[in-house]
C-alpha cells in the first residue's frame, strides 16, 4: 500500500480588538473548498519559515498586517495526491482594511461562538468548536 505524502499548510485565526475572527469565502473557481468559508493562510514556499509564510499569505489574501501570538490548533485534510496538515496559529489584527485577492470573494468578522453557523471548510469544523 502506497502512502500519500504530507504537506504543511499554515493558517491563522485573526482576531480584531472585539475578539471577532476573520473568515474568507473561497471563490467558486477555487480548486479547494469552492464557496466555503476558510481561514487565512496557505502553503509554505521553499526556504520560507512558517511564520514568514503565514504573514505573507495573510498580506496577499487580505491586505492586512497581523501579529502572530501562539499555536491555536491543528487540522488535517486529504487531497487526491497528498494529505495536508494545517498548523493553525492565533493572531491579532495590527493594521489595514480587508482587500481580498482573487482567491476569495467575501469576508466576515464573526464571533468565535458563531463559527458553527457558517459553511466552514470541513477540515476546520472540529477545530472551530474549540474556539472561545
The domain segmentation of the chain, as residue ranges, is 6-128
- How confident is residue 131, by pLDDT bands cut at 50, 70 and 90? confident
pLDDT tens digits, 25-38: 999 988 888 899 99
Three-state DSSP class for residue 59: helix
**Distance between CA 82 and CA 132 in Å, rounded?**
31
The pTM (predicted TM-score) of the whole model is 0.92
Report the pLDDT value the prediction gives residue 70, as an integer from 0 to 100.
97
Report the pLDDT value the prediction gives residue 31, as an integer from 0 to 100.
80
Three-state DSSP class for residue 77: strand
* Nearest CA among 12, 18, 28 for reference residue 74: 12
**What is the CATH architecture assignment of 6-128?**
Alpha-Beta Complex (3.90)
CB 118 within 8 A of CB 37: yes
pLDDT tens digits, 89-99: 999 999 999 99
pLDDT tens digits, 51-72: 999 999 999 999 999 999 999 9
CA distances from 9 to 20, 32, 51 (A): 23, 13, 11
Amino acid at each position: 500500500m502506497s502512502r500519500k505524502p504530507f504537506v504543511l499548510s499554515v493558517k491563522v485565526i485573526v482576531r480584531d480588538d472585539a475578539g471577532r475572527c476573520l473568515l474568507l469565502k473561497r471563490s467558486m473557481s477555487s480548486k479547494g473548498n469552492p464557496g466555503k468559508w476558510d481561514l487565512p493562510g496557505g502553503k509554505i514556499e521553499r526556504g520560507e519559515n512558517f511564520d514568514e509564510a503565514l504573514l505573507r499569505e495573510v498580506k496577499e489574501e487580505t491586505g492586512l498586517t497581523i501579529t502572530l501570538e501562539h499555536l491555536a490548533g491543528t487540522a488535517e485534510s486529504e487531497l487526491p495526491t497528498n494529505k495536508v496538515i494545517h498548523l493553525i496559529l492565533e493572531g491579532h489584527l495590527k493594521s489595514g482594511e480587508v482587500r481580498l485577492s482573487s482567491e476569495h470573494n467575501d469576508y466576515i468578522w464573526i464571533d468565535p461562538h458563531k463559527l458553527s453557523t457558517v459553511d466552514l471548510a470541513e477540515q476546520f469544523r472540529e477545530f472551530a468548536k474549540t474556539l472561545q
